[in-house]
Copies of this chain bind each other. A is one copy, B any other.
Amino acid sequence: MFKYKKPIAILSQGKFGVLEAKTATCILRYRSDEVCAVIDSATAGQTCDDIVGFACSVPIVASVSDAADRGAATLLIGVAPQGGQLPPEWRGYITEAIERGWDIVSGLHTFLSMDSEFSMLAKRSGSSLIDLRLPPRDINIGSGRARDLGTRILMTVGSDCDVGKMTVTYELVEEARTRGIKTAFVATGQTGIFLSKWGVAVDAVPADFVAGATEAMVIEAARTSDLVVVEGQGSLVHPGYSGVTLGLLHGGVPHGMVLCHEVGRRAIKDMPNQEIPPMRDLIALYEHACEPIRPAAVTSIALNCFSLDEDACTQEIARTERETGLPATDCIRFGSAVLLDSFLERYPLR
């Protein structure tokens, strides 16, 4: 649990609307009531709706000072660049925000709280530097012990990173809670941690401890819930992140998985030579990888049809259902009921 002052200005300088700014987009989707401004001089003055593609009345401004005029009290870094380093051109924005006494919330691999300049300034101005990705101490090695829980465990997995796993996870949790199911959201990345105020960014823990961190979270979450939904990370076919994905699977030991995919994505992001295998091969790969620790089935497909109109999206859903023999949907357009139903049908609550 962490605290920050409100309202928030989201720093998205030069990146707003780009896939890398998915943190910004997700927070605008689910927590826009906390946000007073997006900072991006390239799109300043435009309306937020046009950029993110959904209803959003948050103004886009050009500077920290403009965001201050809107009352901002926290700066949230709204970008997840590959590798998670701080873009050097952002130091100025952060410095200015700290000097104004704002809290800073960051999901970068570069920890702001360990930056001597930032932390010196923060001490002086009274601002808190909150690193969402900072690993906890005292994680144990994973042992598969989450298998012993009575709670059902569902995990989102993906054909790639940045296909919408966090969003699908969030929607599944909301759907289950609407139905009165005691449901826990196990956040494993910076955006999910921000939204749920709890979690571990598993990609930032020393590699030996990914499964252990996941296992510990699932066990903790199961204490107060009948359904645990674990946010997946990366992809088993991503040359850089596959290890994180497998650690999550073996630590979280899901009963079933929802496979997330962005329609039209043919290769791994930024790696045109790394083709994404056909959906059925992906399903087989995920199920085979789970097998040694606890067999688990992919029970449905979550499509991200952001780039399609509704007709094309409906067609793509039908095509995917024929191809895989599994229910599919775009949960932003049509809700996540289908995804939850197919999981619960196969793995009823106990």
Contact = CB atoms under 8 A, between A and B. Distances in A.
Interface of A: 82-84, 109, 135, 140-144, 202-212, 236-248, 250-251, 271, 273-274, 277, 284-285, 288-289, 291-293
21 contacts: A82-B141, A141-B240, A141-B241, A144-B239, A144-B271, A144-B274, A203-B206, A204-B208, A207-B243, A208-B244, A211-B241, A211-B242, A211-B243, A237-B292, A238-B250, A242-B246, A243-B244, A243-B247, A285-B291, A285-B292, A289-B289
A35 B239 CA distance: 40
Contacts of A83: 140-141, 208
A144 B288 CA distance: 22
Copies in the complex: 2
A274 B142 CA distance: 12
A249 to B, nearest CB: 8
Contacts of A239: 142-144, 211, 250-251, 293
Contacts of A237: 292-293
Q: Which of A203, A236, A243, A250 has the most CB of B within 10 A?
A: A243
A293 B243 CA distance: 13
Closest 7 CB pairs between A and B?
A243-B247, A144-B239, A142-B240, A237-B292, A141-B240, A203-B208, A243-B243
A208 B292 contact: no
Given A144-B271, A288-B288, A207 B247 contact: yes
A243 to B, nearest CB: 3
A292 B242 CA distance: 10
A144 B267 CA distance: 13
B244 A207 contact: yes
Contacts of A211: 239-243
A285 B285 contact: no
Contacts of A206: 109, 135, 203-207
Nearest to A253: B239
A244 B142 CA distance: 12
B247 A242 contact: yes
